[in-house]
Structure 1
Amino acid sequence: MTLDLQLDALAAALPPRGRLLGLDLGTKTIGLALSDVERRLASPLDTIRRVKFSADAEALLKRTADFDVQALVFGLPLNMDGTEGPRAQATRAFMRNLRKLTPLPFAFWDERLSTAAVTRELIAQDASRAKRAEVVDRMAAAYILQGALDRLARL
């Protein structure tokens, strides 16, 4: 199944309005981004420092409840040739475990080069290395979510 079909299936399961949460799942952090209720704009939200799955899931599900999130969009870190490597498999495993804890629907969105694109933009804005490290994960999540929102708008 392609990523677009997964997103198409998610679109069919969503109410007309409601926020989506975008996730950039890393080994040390989870970057979060939130859409507006009309699902037009993704905004960086927060970064969760990863500890262990149960704590990570609890923090994530708290954000979904706080913002009345209707669905999750996970960045899927595919290899440049489109194949799935260890990071993509780890992302799928995280979602399989999270699925046991929440009924929220989800989709994966190709996140290739999202962190690189965000880092380039931050460098262009002359952001310090410390500032980039602080915001890159949630900005990458916003980049991922915005791509999915743009695709949803064309459905």
Structure 2
Amino acid sequence: MTDGAFRRGRRIGVDVGDARIGVASSDPDGMLATPVETVPAGPGSQARLVALAEEYQAVEVVLGLPRSLNGGEGPAAAKVRRYAGELAARLAPAGVPVRLVDERMSTVTAAQGLRASGVKSKKGRSVIDQAAAVVILQSALEGEKTSGRPPGQLVEPDETAAPSEG
């Protein structure tokens, strides 16, 4: 295994949606992702994510990149890329990198798991967002363990967009 396989520190996993943003965190050894909270999308969401990264002393933030089943990117992926660039700019002063990882089927997987546990979809929407963040982060953690490299794609901070909120 390479040195990258032994990176210690908590990671924050994020599932960006139009209405809600699911957040998960890992343990300091990067073994297990657990739900944290659901943040309302819109003004203030990035400030809350920055606060959570600080609170959890995150070594990185991992956002799910929605791709189509064939791997292509549409408007939702473009929106998440913009959001990730803005978030990376906000986290850059703290030295916390942002990474994008493929999140195909994360919400579907989370919803199926919750349904199997007896959670009703109407009551469980915010829980589904957190569970999707757990799926995204757990997948990233397992990918890193397998490859020995940080997961996904590093996001360059979008300095021009830093002041705005998404």
Asked whether the two chains share a fold, i.e. TM above 0.5, the reply is: yes
SS at structure 2 position matched to 1:94: helix
1:153 aligns with 2:145: yes
1:112 aligns with 2:104: yes
**Aligned equivalent of 2:77, options 68, 88, 98:** 88
User: Which of structure 1's runs of 4+ aligned residues deviate more than 3 A?
Assistant: none
Q: Aligned-pair distance for 1:88?
A: 0.5
**Aligned equivalent of 1:34, options 18, 25, 29:** 25
Q: Name the counterpart of 1:4.
A: none
Aligned alpha-carbon RMSD (Å): 1.7
Equivalent runs, 1:12-27 vs 2, <5 Å: 12=4, 16-27=7-18
The percent of aligned pairs where both chains have the same amino acid is: 32
Tell me the alpha carbon deviations over residues 23-68 of structure 1, each in whole angstroms, 9 at most, x when there is no partner.
000011110000000000000111101132xx11111101011110
1:57 aligns with 2:57: no
Q: Aligned-pair distance for 1:15?
A: 7.9
Q: TM-score, normalised by structure 1?
A: 0.86
Counterpart of 1:21, as a letter, is I
Q: Aligned-pair distance for 1:111?
A: 0.6
SS at structure 2 position matched to 1:92: helix
Q: Name the counterpart of 1:3.
A: none
Between the aligned partners of 2:119 and 2:72, the Cα distance in structure 1 is: 33
Q: Name the counterpart of 1:134.
A: 126
SS at structure 2 position matched to 1:101: helix
SS at structure 1 position matched to 2:59: strand
SS at structure 1 position matched to 2:18: coil
**Aligned equivalent of 2:62, options 59, 73, 92:** 73
C-alpha change, 1:106 and 1:134, in structure 2 (3 Å) is closer
Q: Name the counterpart of 1:7.
A: none
**Aligned equivalent of 1:45, options 13, 16, 36:** 36
Bigger proportion of residues as helix:
1
Provide structure 1 residue ranges, at least 5 long, that are not aligned to the other structure: 1-10
Counterpart of 1:145, as a letter, is L
Between the aligned partners of 1:92 and 1:28, the Cα distance in structure 2 is: 17
Q: Aligned-pair distance for 1:106?
A: 1.9
Between the aligned partners of 1:129 and 1:91, the Cα distance in structure 2 is: 24
Q: Aligned-pair distance for 1:16?
A: 3.0
Contact kept? 2:111, 2:121, Cα under 8 Å: no
Between the aligned partners of 1:76 and 1:89, the Cα distance in structure 2 is: 9
